[in-house]
Structure 1
Amino acid sequence: MNFSMTENGFTGDLPFGELTISGQEGHGFRPFQLLISSLAVCSGGVMRKVMDKMRMPADDIQIEVKEVVRIEEEANRVAKVHLHFTLKGNIDESKMPRVMELTKKNCSMVRSVEGSIEVIETYELI
Structure 2
Amino acid sequence: MSVELVVATPLLLLVLLLIVQFTVWSHATHLAQAAASRGLAAARIHESTAAEGHHAARNLLDSLGSATLTEIAIDVDRDTDLASARITGRAASVVPGLHLPVRAAASGPVERVVPAVLGVPNREEG
Scaled by the length of structure 2, the TM-score of the pair is: 0.36
The structure with the largest alpha-carbon Rg is: 2
- Select the structure with the greater relative contact order (CA < 8 A; seq sep ≥ 6): 2
Structure whose residues are more often helix by fraction: 2
